[in-house]
Amino acid sequence: MGSYYAIVTCRNSESEIENAINSLLNQTIKPRYILVVDDGSTDNTHNILEGLKLKNDNIYVITNPDLGYDIGRVVKNWNSAINLANDMNLETTDYHMISTDDTHYEEFYAEKLMSKMDDDDRIAISSGNFDDNSYATPHGAGRFVRNSFFDDVLGRYPEKMGYESVILQLSLYHGFKNTVNNDARFTHTRQLGANHHFYEFGASMRTLGYHPLFVLGRFMQCFLTGKPTGRMGAIRMLYYYLSYKPKKEGYDSMYDPEIRKAIRIRQKTRIKQILGLKTTTTNT
């Protein structure tokens, strides 16, 4: 069976963080280590993490100063965790897992995902599921990423909005697969979109250069099914895609033309497949 480490980000999570980390520690296949980034908590989160560290020598904690809530720091924190693992020469693993302070996993979660990823080295990214709906795209929390793919294609997460989506798009562009394992289950204690109201869902589709027809299709799917965003979330997502004006640089800026081109090529191919048109490209 493969090996993995877990990244957990948190802020003011005193009521949730211990259960979230215990959910990882209780896996049948345990993470080799857990990297926790406390993004400036002002409650008792720090003390809880220190207590967990005393009981578990494979937990490492990065503590940031309190700069207020900013969803844009999440990806910086992921990269900080990856940098820490490299700086400390921690064990190289087959996968890394992205988790959150409000996610709880069934005890066989990691084992179920890695079993299928071990058997198929073309699966670059995979996650379980949190409800009974069928999804084609792996979820953000509970996501397993194959490190050989990640290191070759990116190495670090782009510190721009859409960082969760770009890795999925590049995986497909480079001929890998992304999967959702409905047999592996997890739950959230917070409602999806509670902190950002789906602002980045829409705005990042603009910065990533999503094809308008692809965006429309996603909106219709979310609006008609109500999943996973809810109908109001779908409306907000479309509104932010249409209204967002990217910045010239930084977290809110457009992705490089090469990445946007790769995404458009794949999405055009997918649109043609849906419409039943012939296509010669293999980047599906």
* Mean pLDDT in residue range 88-113: 97
* Mean pLDDT in residue range 6-32: 97
Which range is least confidently modeled, 16-30, 87-101, 157-171?
157-171
Same domain? 181 vs 268: no
Same domain? 10 vs 144: yes
Same domain? 96 vs 126: yes
Same domain? 211 vs 129: no
Nearest to 273 by CA among 174, 122, 172: 172
pLDDT tier for residue 277 given thresholds of 50, 70 and 90: low
Same domain? 25 vs 71: yes
Q: Name the one residue in this structure whose structure tokens are 């259960």.
A: 19
pLDDT tier for residue 97 given thresholds of 50, 70 and 90: very high
Question: How confident is the model at residue 197, as a pLDDT?
Answer: 63
Nearest to 178 by CA among 229, 139, 209: 139
Same domain? 88 vs 228: no
Is a pLDDT exceeding 90 seen at residue 191? no
Same domain? 174 vs 212: no
Average pLDDT in the chain: 91
Question: How confident is the model at residue 229, as a pLDDT?
Answer: 79
pLDDT by residue (tens digit) across 155-175? 999 999 999 999 998 999 899
Q: At residue 168, what is the residue type? A: L
Same domain? 256 vs 179: no
pLDDT tier for residue 103 given thresholds of 50, 70 and 90: very high
- What is the distance between the alpha carbons of residues 51 and 46, in angstroms, rounded to a whole number? 9
- What is the distance between the alpha carbons of residues 188 and 192, in angstroms, rounded to a whole number? 8
| CATH code where residue 19 lies | 3.90.550.10
| Omega prior to 212 cis, within 30 of 0 | no
Same domain? 87 vs 170: yes
Question: How confident is the model at residue 136, as a pLDDT?
Answer: 82
For the record, the structure tokens of 64 come out as 């940031």
Q: What is the dihedral of CA 231, 232, 238, 242, to 10 degrees?
A: 160
pLDDT tier for residue 257 given thresholds of 50, 70 and 90: very high
Q: Which residues touch 121 (CB under 8 Å, ≥6 apart)? A: 146
Question: How confident is the model at residue 266, as a pLDDT?
Answer: 82
Residues of the domain holding 211: 197-284
Q: Is the Cα dihedral 160, 162, 163, 168 positive or negative?
A: negative
| Helix ranges (DSSP H) in the chain | 17-25, 45-55, 73-87, 109-119, 147-153, 163-173, 199-207, 212-225, 231-243, 257-275
Which range is least confidently modeled, 24-28, 122-126, 277-281?
277-281
Select from 134, 155, 190 the last residue of a domain: 190
Question: How confident is the model at residue 134, as a pLDDT?
Answer: 80
- What is the distance between the alpha carbons of residues 93 and 1, in angstroms, rounded to a whole number? 11
Select from 170, 190, 210 the last residue of a domain: 190
Question: How confident is the model at residue 192, as a pLDDT?
Answer: 56
Question: How confident is the model at residue 88, as a pLDDT?
Answer: 97
Question: How confident is the model at residue 272, as a pLDDT?
Answer: 85
Same domain? 55 vs 185: yes
Q: Name the one residue in this structure whose structure tokens are 């058997």.
A: 119
Same domain? 17 vs 61: yes
Q: How many residues does the chain have?
A: 284
Select from 127, 155, 190 the last residue of a domain: 190
- DSSP for 137-168? S--STTEEEEHHHHHHHTSS--SSTTHHHHHH
pLDDT by residue (tens digit) across 106-145? 999 999 999 999 999 999 999 999 988 888 889 989 999 9
* Mean pLDDT in residue range 258-280: 79
- What is the distance between the alpha carbons of residues 20 and 241, in angstroms, rounded to a whole number? 33
- What is the distance between the alpha carbons of residues 194 and 102, in angstroms, rounded to a whole number? 12
Q: Is the Cα dihedral 46, 49, 55, 58 positive or negative?
A: negative
pLDDT by residue (tens digit) across 39-59? 999 999 999 999 999 999 999
Which range is least confidently modeled, 36-40, 42-46, 264-268?
264-268
Number of structural domains found in the chain: 2
| pTM value > 0.85 | yes
Same domain? 213 vs 106: no
Which range is least confidently modeled, 158-162, 210-214, 262-266?
262-266
Is a pLDDT exceeding 70 seen at residue 199? yes
